[in-house]
């Protein structure tokens, strides 16, 4: 009777239970067809019942399959290992490697201890597996123990073990031991050199990396790419380019690294030049390089080149990638082509958080804040970037009440704000004089250990200065570890704004002694301080110094400060001559300063000539009409006042009422001149009467010369007492308890 050769019979998983025996060939066939967690136990059962599981090689093959199968849990594989009578080192290594690969490296180290307890000696593959597990766990101490075992079993001279040791120590942040392993190894290959170089590159150790790179017996593309990346991070762009130019072979990573190097260092034109050279040489383009190139186009604001890159992306078949879609949305919105950005967003098959944030940022950049808010409200899920972009957008476009309202919503959602958010909120507090909320933000920064960097510190100084808290502003300034020119500017302008002229000018002198170069804004503050104090000679000195010493060309604001300074001092002819010498057209504020000075000093001749000229230039500007009208009124020229009134009525020019804001209990209240709509208007009126009574007791007499001539003197006084500022002050006196200042 012939024996049955099962290896020649077709085997199916459904016939496993009927097999009289099993061999290696049948096992391989069965494993090849196994696709689910229900089928594998049948194969395992047949191996057990037939006793074939005791064949070490067959059992190791079964274990290898179970460890790799995504539908089987590693608990099953561990039970299988313990079922094998004499598992070999390969089986233990297989299961340890699987645990590291599938996210449970601690089990690899536990299995190693069990393996040693079974009196089995590890081989040269065991140590690299354990060292990789230690790297994943950032377990430097465990790695050192494995290193000791490698030495004990004589594997420390194995180049594969050496390379894994170098990698383990570098990943765990122990570059000194990584270097010792490298230096004392009797055998090194190109992987060894690349590993130690990668360790220094990852740590940013540029000098050590250069030393290794220079010593390499044979440089390869991987090492050269690493050096380009490192030089780019360390702002050594010329060194990166030198390596790039000296390379015999460049791959796509090389080109990407060089483009990213330029882009990271704000050399966007050079990044595009390398990209177009890459494209000319026919190098395959991937999504990573395209993202860098689109970022460069966005920074440069060059839409045409960006559209060319967009075309390349489509031809390369990369347009389905979400990150490229987001980069394109950012490009178009940065170049203010929000329609193209919207079209991309709407056509995308998949949009993620970055897609939504990019659209919000794009609309904000284009000044379409309400459209940005619609996207913000429609987002399925918001992150800190979403909140920050929207809050900053409101702040950047002077919608400060909306800024604070949205920030309060963010707090109710328990979202931790970032630096950008807080800068926007503090700016809004400064513009609204919302001191209470600004103090809360400052306390929040301290409580949550935020680093008060240049941006946050400068914004806090500006906020406290604008709210009149000079001492607190100076304390923040003194505590800052790093100060930029903007920080000094905030202090100089803030002190001048609060009438501390001498201190403001002293800060400017201190700034010069510290070696910080002033800029245009600095001199706006310095000249503004001179203007407030009437320091004509000092103002002239600084105005000339900015041109001759610091080579800063005065802009319209600097000229405006000087015109106002000269006008307040009564030097009207000199002020007019300065206006005529300006290399640019004077703005409304500059003309207004001179016209106001004419009214103050009673120079009707210059004032009338100037006022009529300005009304011709700006026929709809209510301020010029009012200034000239006040000039006529102050000189009793009521015919001129009547003529101007008629002209304003004829042209439809309406005087914009004055507006003042005040914060109380975290809420900002807004008042217009003559306002009667506030809920507390009765109490406010009583306080206004009390203020009026006390002022008269102190001998104050209001100047009614500018008020309309055809109402009674008593009515003129009443009109003055209902200015928006006085309404706000009255409200503050009612709702603010001493000694808290009214802000």
- In whole angstroms, what is the distance from residue 448 CA to residue 454 CA? 18
* pLDDT, average across residues 439-467: 90
Mean pLDDT: which of 13-22, 114-123, 317-326, 529-538 is highest?
529-538
CB-CB contact of 237 with 261 (8 Å): yes
Q: Is the pLDDT of residue 533 over 50?
A: yes
Is the pLDDT at 626 greater than 80, yes or no? no
Cα 126 to Cα 134: distance, rounded to the nearest angstrom: 13
pLDDT at 403 over 50: yes
Q: Confidence class of residue 255 from pLDDT cuts 50, 70 and 90? A: very high
Q: Report CA 707 to chain centroid distance, whole Å.
A: 51
Average pLDDT of the segment spanning 377-405: 92
pLDDT at 451 over 90: no
Q: Are strands 667-672 and 659-664 parallel, antiparallel or unpaired?
A: antiparallel
d(CA 40, CA 615): 93
Percentage of residues in the chain having pLDDT higher than 70: 83
Predicted pLDDT of residue 732: 76
Residue 694 has pLDDT above 60, yes or no: yes
C-alpha radius of gyration, the chain, whole number: 39
d(CA 546, CA 567): 21
- What pLDDT is recorded for position 674? 63
pLDDT of residue 4: 33
Which residues are 662's β-sheet partners? 669
The more confidently predicted of residues 428 and 711 is 428
Distance of CA 188 to the CA centre of its chain: 44
User: How far apart (Å, rounded) are the C-alpha atoms in residues 216 and 194?
Assistant: 9
Please tell me the predicted confidence (pLDDT) of residue 431: 87
Question: Quick one: pLDDT at residue 633?
Answer: 66
- Supply the pLDDT for residue 614: 65
Select the more confidently predicted residue: 74 or 31: 74
Give the CA diameter of the chain. 140
Phi and psi based region of residue 449 (left: phi greater than 0; alpha: psi -120 to 50; beta: remaining): left
Which tokens go with 81?
């290992």
Q: What pLDDT sits at residue 15?
A: 47
Q: pLDDT higher for 722 or 352?
A: 352
pLDDT tens-digit map of 470-495: 999 999 999 998 899 999 999 999 99
Supply the pLDDT for residue 348: 80
**637 burial type by CB count under 10 A (0-12 exposed, 13-18 middle, 19+ buried):** middle
715, pLDDT greater than 70: no
Residue at token pair 């897609």: 355
pLDDT value, residue 636? 64
Exposure string for 579-609, b = 16+ CB within 10 A, e = fewer: beebeeebeeebbbbbbbbbbebebbebbbe
Which range scores top for mean pLDDT: 97-101, 203-207, 666-670? 97-101
pLDDT of residue 733: 81
pLDDT(681) > 90: no
pTM: 0.62
Which phi-psi region, left, alpha or beta, contains residue 500 (left: φ > 0; alpha: ψ -120 to 50)? beta
Q: Which of 129-133, 383-387, 515-519, 590-594 has the lowest mean pLDDT?
A: 590-594
Look over the chain and give the mean of its residue pLDDT values, rounded to a whole number. 82
Query: Does 509 have pLDDT greater than 90?
Result: yes
Question: Which one, of 86, 101, 41, lies nearest residue 66 by Cα?
Answer: 41
pLDDT tens-digit profile of 405-432? 999 999 898 888 888 899 999 999 888 8
Residue 268 burial (10 A CB sphere; 0-12, 13-18, 19+):
buried
Query: What is the mean pLDDT of the segment spanning 566-590?
Result: 87
Counting residues of the chain whose pLDDT is more than 90, the rounded percentage is 24
Burial string for 120-159 (b: 16+ CB within 10 Å, else e) reads bebebbbbbbbbbbbbbbebbebbbebbebbeebebbebe
- Is pLDDT above 80 for 640? no
- CB 153 within 8 Å of CB 125: no
User: Is 633:709 a contact under the CB 8 Å cutoff?
Assistant: yes
3-state SS assignment for residue 11? coil
Structure tokens at 655: 């005087």
pLDDT at res. 722: 54
> What is the rounded distance in angstroms from the CA atom of residue 164 to the CA atom of residue 196?
10
Pick the more confident residue, 554 or 718.
554
Q: How confident is the model at residue 707 (pLDDT cuts 50, 70, 90)?
A: very low
Contact 50, 21 (CB under 8 A): yes
571 secondary structure, DSSP code: -
328 has a pLDDT exceeding 70? yes
13-17, 92-96, 279-283: segment of lowest average pLDDT: 13-17
Q: Is the confidence at residue 658, as pLDDT, over 50? A: yes
């Amino acid at each position: 009777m012939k024996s049955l050769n099962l290896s020649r019979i077709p085997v199916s998983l459904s016939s496993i239970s009927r097999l009289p025996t099993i061999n290696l060939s049948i096992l391989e066939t069965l494993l090849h067809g196994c696709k689910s967690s229900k089928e594998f136990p049948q194969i395992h059962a047949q191996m057990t019942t037939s006793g074939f599981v005791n064949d070490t090689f067959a059992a190791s093959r079964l274990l290898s399959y179970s460890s790799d199968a995504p539908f089987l849990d590693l608990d099953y594989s561990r039970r299988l290992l313990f079922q094998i009578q004499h598992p070999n080192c390969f089986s233990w290594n297989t299961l340890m490697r699987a645990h590291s690969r599938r996210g449970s490296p601690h089990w690899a180290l536990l299995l190693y201890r069990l393996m040693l307890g079974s009196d089995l000696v590890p081989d040269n593959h065991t140590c690299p597996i354990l060292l990789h597990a230690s790297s994943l766990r950032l377990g430097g101490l465990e790695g050192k123990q494995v290193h000791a075992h490698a030495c004990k079993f004589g594997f420390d001279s194995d180049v594969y073990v050496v390379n894994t040791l170098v990698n383990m120590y570098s990943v765990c942040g122990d570059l000194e031991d990584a270097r010792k392993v490298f230096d004392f190894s009797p055998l090194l290959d190109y992987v060894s050199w690349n590993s130690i170089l990668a360790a220094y590159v990852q740590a940013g150790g540029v000098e050590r990396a250069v030393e290794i790179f220079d010593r390499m017996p044979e440089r390869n593309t991987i090492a050269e790419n690493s050096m380009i990346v490192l030089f780019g991070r360390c702002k050594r762009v010329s060194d990166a380019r030198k390596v790039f130019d000296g390379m015999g072979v460049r791959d796509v990573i090389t080109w990407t690294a060089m483009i990213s190097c330029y882009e990271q260092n704000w050399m966007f034109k050079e990044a595009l030049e390398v990209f177009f050279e890459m494209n000319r040489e026919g190098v395959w383009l991937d999504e990573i390089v395209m993202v860098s190139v689109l970022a460069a186009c966005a920074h440069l604001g060059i839409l045409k080149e960006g559209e060319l890159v967009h075309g390349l992306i489509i031809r390369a078949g990369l347009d389905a990638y979400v990150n490229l879609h987001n980069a394109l949305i950012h490009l178009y919105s940065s170049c203010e082509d929000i329609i193209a950005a919207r079209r991309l967003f709407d056509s995308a098959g998949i949009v993620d958080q970055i897609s939504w944030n990019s659209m919000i940022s794009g609309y904000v950049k284009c000044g379409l804040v309400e459209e940005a808010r619609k996207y913000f409200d429609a987002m399925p899920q918001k992150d800190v970037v979403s909140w920050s972009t929207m809050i900053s957008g409101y702040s950047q476009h002077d919608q400060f009440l909306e800024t604070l309202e949205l920030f309060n919503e963010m707090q109710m959602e328990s979202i931790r704000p970032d630096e950008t958010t807080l800068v926007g909120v503090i700016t809004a507090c400064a513009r609204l004089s919302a001191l209470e909320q600004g103090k809360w933000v400052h306390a929040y920064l301290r409580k949550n250990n935020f680093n008060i960097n240049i941006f946050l510190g400068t914004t806090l100084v500006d906020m406290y200065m604008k709210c009149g808290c000079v001492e607190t502003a100076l304390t923040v300034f003194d505590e800052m570890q790093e100060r930029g020119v903007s920080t000094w500017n905030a202090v100089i302008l803030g002190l001048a704004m609060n009438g501390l002229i001498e201190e403001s000018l002293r800060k400017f002198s201190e700034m010069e002694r510290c070696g910080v170069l002033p800029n245009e804004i600095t001199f706006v503050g310095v000249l503004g301080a001179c203007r407030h104090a009437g320091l004509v000679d000092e103002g002239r000195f600084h105005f000339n110094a900015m041109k001759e010493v610091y080579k800063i060309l005065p802009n319209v604001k600097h000229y405006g400060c000087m015109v106002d300074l000269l006008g307040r001092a009564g030097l009207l002819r000199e002020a007019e001559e300065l206006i005529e010498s300006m290399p640019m057209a004077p703005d409304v504020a500059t003309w207004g300063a001179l016209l106001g000075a004419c009214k103050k000093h009673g120079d009707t001749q210059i004032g009338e000539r100037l006022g009529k000229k300005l009304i011709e230039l700006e026929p709809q500007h209510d301020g010029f009409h009012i200034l000239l009208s006040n000039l006529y009124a102050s000189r009793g020229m009521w015919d001129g006042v009547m003529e101007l009134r008629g002209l304003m009525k004829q042209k439809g020019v309406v005087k914009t009422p004055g507006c003042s804001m005040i914060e109380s209990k975290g809420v900002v209240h807004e008042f217009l001149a003559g306002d009667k709509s506030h809920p507390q208007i009765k109490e406010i009126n009583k306080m206004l009467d009390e203020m009026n009574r006390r002022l008269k007791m102190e001998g104050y007499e209001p100047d009614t010369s500018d008020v309309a001539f055809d109402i009674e003197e008593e009515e003129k006084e009443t009109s003055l007492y209902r200015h928006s500022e006085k309404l706000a002050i009255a409200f503050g006196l009612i709702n603010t308890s001493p000694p808290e200042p009214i802000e």
